[in-house]
Amino acid sequence: MSGSILLADDEEKILKTLGRALRDEGFDVVTTPSAREASRLLAERAFDLLIVDYLMPEKTGLDVIREAVGATPDGERPAMVIMTAHGSIESAVEAMKLGARDYLQKPFEVEELLAIARRAIEDQRARLGLRYLLDERDVEFGHYGIVGNSRAVRELLARAERVAESRSTVLLTGETGTGKELVARAIHAKSAQRNRPLIKVGCAAIPETLLESELFGHTRGAFTGAVTSKKGRFALADGGTIFLDEIATVSQPVQAKLLRVLQEREFEPLGSERTEKVDVRVIAATNRDLRQLVAEGKFQEDLYYRLNVIPITLPPLRDRREDIPLLVDHFVRRFASSAGKRIDGVERAVLDDLTKYDWPGNVRELENTIERAVVLANGTVLTQETVWLMGAVTPAHGPGLPSLRLHQNVEWAERETIRRALERSRGVKKDAAELMGISQRALSHYLLKYKDSI
């Protein structure tokens, strides 16, 4: 794991041991036996993490922390951890009050320190990452999980934030998996009506015959099977937001009724004479080209204009590739944490592949790819094998095939087979060879051939 650490302790021996352990983990470590020197270094350059001993000759670790807090704004300060001697828990508590995230009570195991350092740096990154994605923009949007720092995403966020303040109808368009629903939720959550309901209607998922009653409700006996009356989703969304997903699939009669709600803010439930009024913001989404459907006579023109008050187009992922590493990082973190695995990141080569790939399923496809890779991962890094295995990066080549290069695929299959056979035989070569139906000599030959990659 990478990250920069400043380690300050007046005991040279401790400094040396801990410094080495942290460096072995991949951290970039600066050590100093002097508290004054630590303060100077902190003022001079940025660190991800400060680990400081409490008891030092010139001043205490607490003083170092206090000065750091005073001298640097919250967002630029390193994560801070204090080491205290046995029995001086008060200083640890004091440090935490000042903003230290953790403390280590001496004597402690090196493993303990490493675990704390890893977590601190990870959190610190997530925190800074958020800042970096959103820069000065209202952090609230960050909580809705919209990750990206490309120009397209920044513009999108700015627009979504502005529209959140109004009650205007929004039309979200974009390919599948680009985040239309995510943005719809963010707009609602940011609006003044955030405490009122957000009701989603997946128009394509509801059978055509039921959609009208789902949207507008019905009275008892309005149609066969309507044994009780039922409130429609527009009524449920009153005062809040209704999210009409996959709006392009709506039938002509329902389109007409939707047009009326948009124009008049009123409707009649099925079987009812009574007109109901609603105060609801409409957000519609589609991955189709509505204008085209209008031209083909499949979508009502008036309704299109009523929906298209504030159009927001979500760019396909392949048009904002610079967001891919950020998204990868975000999903790795999320799925590793939910799988309870420690995954530090993705191999350089994998990241290259992921960045080059065209992602027809956009962010959803990337999300699924990372989830599968995390589940499959054996080590702490997602390797080309894990990602290839799922064929996710290369669906054009067929599931599970890394490429269209015959030899490359054959070698890949050989490596995979051997790896799995060895796994099954718990490393006993004789058994693995038997499972594969080859001689032990042949297996030795393969092991030599692939010695670095099995």
Ligand X SMILES: Nc1ncnc2c1ncn2[C@@H]1O[C@H](COP(=O)(O)OP(=O)(O)OP(=O)(O)O)[C@@H](O)[C@H]1O
The answer to whether residue 150 forms part of the interface with ligand X (CB under 6 A) is no
What is the number of the residue whose Cβ is closest to Mg ion? 181
Tally Cβ neighbours within 10 Å of residue 430: 10
Number of helical (H) and strand (E) elements in the chain, helices listed first:
19, 16
Q: Which of Mg ion, ligand X, none has residue 257 at its interface (CB below 5 to 8 Å by kind)? A: none
Q: How far is the CB of 209 from ligand X (least distance, A)?
A: 23
CA atoms within 13 A on the CB side of 124: 26
Contacts (CB under 6 A) with ligand X, residues 273-302: 287
400-403: which pairs have CB atoms within 8 A and are 24 or more residues apart?
A: none
As measured in angstroms, the least distance from the Cβ of 93 to Mg ion is 48
Would you list the DSSP string of 146-197?
----SHHHHHHHHHHHHHHTS---EEEE-STTSSHHHHHHHHHHHSTTTTS-
For residue 311, give Cα distances in angstroms to 99, 408, 443.
Answer: 44, 46, 61
The residue range among 7-15, 69-77, 143-151, 271-279 that interacts with ligand X, by the rule CB under 6 A, is 143-151
Site for ligand X in 360-389 (CB under 6 A): 363-364, 367
Q: How many residues bind ligand X (CB under 6 A)?
A: 17
Among 102, 123, 161, 181, binds Mg ion (CB under 5 A): 181
Least gap, CB of 263 to ligand X (angstroms): 26
Query: Cβ 241 to ligand X, closest distance in Å?
Result: 15
Candidate residues 3, 179, 315, 402; the one interacting with ligand X per rule CB under 6 A: 179
- Out of 3, 61, 78, 174, which residue is the one contacting ligand X (CB under 6 A)? 174
Residue nearest to ligand X (CB): 179
Residue of the chain from 125, 180, 281, 306 that contacts ligand X (CB under 6 A):
180
Instruction: Spell out the alpha helix ranges (H) of 30-150.
Output: 35-44, 61-71, 89-98, 110-134
Q: Which of 354, 349, 368 is nearest to 326 (CA)?
A: 354
Residues linked to residue 4 through DSSP beta bridges, in sequence order: 28
* Residue closer to ligand X, measured from CB, 147 or 433: 147
Q: Which residues bind ligand X (CB under 6 A)?
A: 145-148, 174, 176-182, 287, 327, 363-364, 367
* Interacting residues toward Mg ion by CB under 5 A: 181
